[in-house]
Amino acid sequence: MKIPFLSFGTSNATIKKEVLQAFETFFDSSWYVLGEKVKQFEKEYASYSQTNYAVGVSNGLDALFLALKVLNIKEGDEVIVPSNTYIATALAVSYTGAIPIFVEPCIDTYNIDPEKIEAAITPRTRAIMPVHLYGQCCEMDAIMEIANKRNLFVIEDNAQAHGATFNNRPTGSFGHVNGVSFYPGKNLGALGDAGAITTNDNELVTKLTTLRNYGSQRKYYNETVGYNMRLDELQAAILSVKLPYLPDWTLERQEAAALYTSLLSEVPGIVVPKTANGATHVYHLYVIRTKQRDALQSYLTENEIGTLIHYPVPIHLQEAYGSLGYSKGDFPIAEEIAETALSLPIFPGIRREQVEHVCNIVAAFAKSNNKYI
């Protein structure tokens, strides 16, 4: 049985007629940049996120950068980020001239460990950027308590967890200003690059809408040095089509994940993901760990099962961040995750028998190798 890591087949078939209708409406409107489709989606996504505002932008990295920018994060400042995350989190900090300060995750949830944050705070710390990694909401109550006590900003990196919650409150609604990605592979994905920023602050919205559009609120009149970081009108229309389907697609992911966990929990050498108390998980990724990760991935590939590694090199060991002076061993939890994590197939439309087949192959590998964690 050939099983891809990710398939758009079922979800695309569900929405195809609506997407084509949305394209036709967009095409016939003759208005292609910052029009009614962007305004409509911004209102819809703000409502979904339980925030007062959403501002559509070009992609998730630009969303994080603009979020930091409007909070006046600048050169010499420090921003706390998890040591286990995609590099875009740190890049956004670097774009402002600030320095990313890495804090280790909880080994069970893969998200930043709130108990380790305070030790990383210095007089130069301006903000905390928690990442809701793989689809699980961070333990936001504890993070917000630290931020409020130390007078720090919070910027949520919500690229992977649309619809996840902590104590019944959704991702993207906790921080002062928060970035989200709608890259095609995300749980809510456009048909190209797209992103948004959520906030409850009216003054920040004015700054954000100005910065994303060349520093202008009025055409040809520029109040500040801005950027071209606008959400495309067509992508906004497609996202509006997809958003009502997201709860059902999320449920399909969660059901597949529950089956994975049930079938893999007793497999020797395999560590299944855990969810923190109070948090929910929307399973953008289903990530297991094993000391035999590379061999298992090769075995699954031989059996025509797609997998990916998220992420093979921690940011502190990336060549791009060599100037920070870190060495192997400085963040051992992030390094352990990088060396042992493997993402299994999960997507809306994945069938029970496909999940069962993946688990059978994993179990067969574990039995034949007889080497346990």
Nearest CA among 85, 111, 113, 114 for reference residue 100: 85
3 state DSSP class of 324: helix
Q: Which has the closest alpha carbon to 165: 198, 131, 199, 137?
A: 137
Sign of CA pseudo-dihedral 344, 345, 348, 352: negative
Cis before 311? omega within 30 = yes
pTM for the predicted model, two decimal places = 0.96
pLDDT at 371: 54
Rounded distance, CA 335 to CA 314, Å?
Answer: 6
Query: Token digits for 112?
Result: 């930043």
Provide the residue-wise pLDDT of the chain in tens; the chain has 373 residues: 999 999 999 999 999 999 999 999 999 999 999 999 999 999 999 999 999 999 999 999 999 999 999 999 999 999 999 999 999 999 999 999 999 999 999 999 999 999 999 999 999 999 999 999 999 999 999 999 999 999 999 999 999 999 999 999 999 999 999 999 999 999 999 999 999 999 999 999 999 999 999 999 999 999 999 999 999 999 999 999 999 999 999 999 999 999 999 999 999 999 999 999 999 999 999 999 999 999 999 999 999 999 999 999 999 999 999 999 999 999 999 999 999 999 999 999 999 999 999 999 999 999 998 654 4
